[in-house]
Amino acid sequence: MEYLPIQASERKKVLFSIRDRLRTMRSNRLLLCPKQGKAMECVAKSKASSHFLFTGDYTSFAVYRFFGFARLDLLALRGNQPWKKNGDTSCRGCDECELETLPHELNHCTILAKNQAVGPLGKRPDLVVQIGKEVFIIDVCIPFENRYESFDRARQEKLEKYAHLIPHYSVNGCKASVIPIIVGALGSWDHKNDKFLLKHMTKSYLNKFHKLCCSDVLHWSRDIFVEHVTGHRQFTDNTNSSRPPTSAASASNS
């Protein structure tokens, strides 16, 4: 307990002063925790990240129960139980990780599917769209919310990763550009996405698009977590990964 001076005129406030000091000390200890505020720093950048709090739009009850524990990193994973000194902390989904944490489980554990390869280096962007004389190489990235710097790093990595495709698609007078779309694994929307999206959709639909993306990512994160912990399949992959690569021109016509 720190030294707490109390004036004689405040002797009736002794208990209040002690409680207030203890409350302040407890809050300061929480703020000093390394994980404190990592996810919420990203969530706070856009109100769309918490759009479902009062209305529940596009969000199931199961996802609603999941997101609070996930954003506070309170899910029952082996790496989240420091009180078990001799417990097994290894990942139950792979043999490569000795500490089962939520970032590993959602973003690093097992490859679920791969996109088709395009370009000379065989990279796999999510979508290539040609609108007039502009070609957009769009790639959606879902990093874990490890403070907002993780979003900036993910965006820069995508720009560098697909930079070699710009001359590949800059033919016949077309101008190509790489467009990263960043959404956090726990449903955080990056407001920097809006600069591109506002050029191609109305503001009213963009607001709805924010909500759909955040809720859908949370839905998939919840399914991945449940399947990881229980071993029961939560979704069926109906996509055809063997289809041939699509050119920019044919993509714009589809």
Over the stretch 128-183, which tens digit does the pLDDT of each residue have? 999 989 999 999 999 999 999 999 999 999 999 999 999 988 887 889 999 999 99
Q: Mind giving me the DSSP string for 60-128?
A: -HHHHHHHHHHHTT-S--GGG-TT-TTS--S-SS-SS-SS--HHHHHHTS-----PPPBTTTTB--SEE
Crossing angle of helices 203-230/61-71, nearest 10°?
Answer: 80
Higher pLDDT, 11 or 84: 84
Q: pLDDT band at 117, cuts 50/70/90?
A: low
pLDDT at 249: 42
pLDDT band for 33, please (50, 70, 90 cuts): confident
pLDDT at 2 over 80: no
Q: How many helices (H) and strands (E) does the chain have?
A: 10, 3
Q: Does residue 138 sit in helix, strand or coil?
A: strand
Q: Do the beta carbons of residue 17 and residue 6 sit within 8 Å?
A: yes
d(CA 207, CA 216): 14
Question: How many beta carbons lie within 10 A of that of residue 24, not counting itself?
Answer: 11
pLDDT band at 247 (very low <50, low <70, confident <90, very high): very low
Q: For residue 239, is pLDDT > 80? A: no
Residue 251 has pLDDT above 60, yes or no: no
When the pLDDT of each residue in the chain is averaged and rounded to a whole number, the result is 84
Q: Are 52 and 74 in contact (CB under 8 A)?
A: no
pLDDT interval class at 7 (50, 70, 90)? confident
The answer to whether 70 and 217 are in contact (CB under 8 A) is no
More confident call, 152 vs 109: 152
- Residue owning tokens 């016509």: 253
- In this prediction, residues 187-194 reach a mean pLDDT of 96
> Which structure tokens are listed for 237?
């992959």
Q: How confident is the model at residue 84 (pLDDT cuts 50, 70, 90)?
A: confident
**Alpha carbon distances (Å) from 43 to 51, 52, 158, 183:** 11, 13, 21, 10
Average pLDDT estimate for 198-223: 95
